[in-house]
Amino acid sequence: MKRLGIAVIGLGRVGRACVEAAREAGDMRLAGIVRRPEKVAQPLPEGWRDLPVAAHISELRDVDAALICVPTDSVLGTAQQLLQQRIPIVECATLEGPARDAHRDEIGRLAEHHRVPAIVGAGWECGTLPLFKRLFELLIPKGRTEITNRPGVSLHHTSAAQDTKGVRGALCTELRGANGRMQRYVYVELEQGANLDAVSRAIRSDPLFVAEETLVFQVASLAELEQGGHGILMERRGASGRAAHHTLLLEARFHAGCFTAQVMLDAARSLPGRRPGAYAYTVFS
Q: Which residues of the shown chain bind ligand NAP in the complex (CB under 6 A)?
A: 10-15, 35-36, 39, 69-72, 74-75, 92-94, 123-127, 256-257, 260
Q: Where are the beta strands (DSSP E) in 4-88?
A: 4-9, 28-34, 53-54, 65-68
Q: How far is the CB of 97 from ligand NAP (least distance, A)?
A: 15
Nearer to ligand NAP, 124 or 279 (CB): 124
Q: Are 136 and 236 in contact (CB under 8 A)?
A: yes
Rounded-to-integer distance, Cα 83 and Cα 109, Å: 11
Rounded-to-integer distance, Cα 204 and Cα 195, Å: 14
Nearer to ligand NAP, 94 or 162 (CB): 94
Q: How far is the CB of 158 from ligand NAP (least distance, A)?
A: 27
Nearer to ligand NAP, 124 or 209 (CB): 124
Question: Closest residue to ligand NAP, Cβ-based?
Answer: 12
Nearer to ligand NAP, 7 or 186 (CB): 7
Q: How far is the CB of 35 from ligand NAP (least distance, A)?
A: 4
Rounded-to-integer distance, Cα 187 and Cα 164, Å: 13
Nearer to ligand NAP, 82 or 140 (CB): 82
Nearer to ligand NAP, 57 or 256 (CB): 256
Q: How far is the CB of 215 from ligand NAP (least distance, A)?
A: 25
Q: How far is the CB of 58 from ligand NAP (least distance, A)?
A: 16
Q: Where are the beta strands (DSSP E) in the chain?
A: 4-9, 28-34, 53-54, 65-68, 89-91, 117-120, 142-150, 156-157, 167-176, 182-190, 213-218, 229-240, 243-255, 277-280
Q: How far is the CB of 191 from ligand NAP (least distance, A)?
A: 24
Look at strands 53-54 and 117-120 and give their pairing: unpaired
Whole-number Cα distances in Å, 239 to 61, 131, 133, 233 = 55, 20, 16, 20
